[in-house]
Amino acid sequence: MSVDTSRERIERLKATDSADYIHMALLDRAEAAEAEVERLRDAVSAVDRLPPGVWEAWTSCSYRRITEREGPDGGVLHATIQKSDGHPDLSWNEDQCCALCDLVNGIRALRKGEGRDDE
């Protein structure tokens, strides 16, 4: 049995204040909650692709880097120069850079779902 979730039917049910409308409203909220949970799972998955540990931003000597509290200076992320062509780069690989973007974008999507607009 398929459930008709068309907007027209929802508006008709809403006007009658019926139990069917309440059921449809609960289904809509459940679907929205499932989407939020999926975004949260994606954000957590992104964290798993990043270097472990407790991170700290270090800025001494005008040199910005991210260091794991118990690790080497700049061990999480630091600037580097590509030996192959001499161009500046980051110490992360492409997957780690994408993971950070996925994490930030996922959290922003969750916040937007809460009615917050951070952009």
pLDDT tens digits, 26-47:
888 888 888 888 888 888 888 8
Global pTM? 0.62
Per-residue pLDDT at 117:
60
Cβ atoms 5, 24 nearer than 8 A: yes
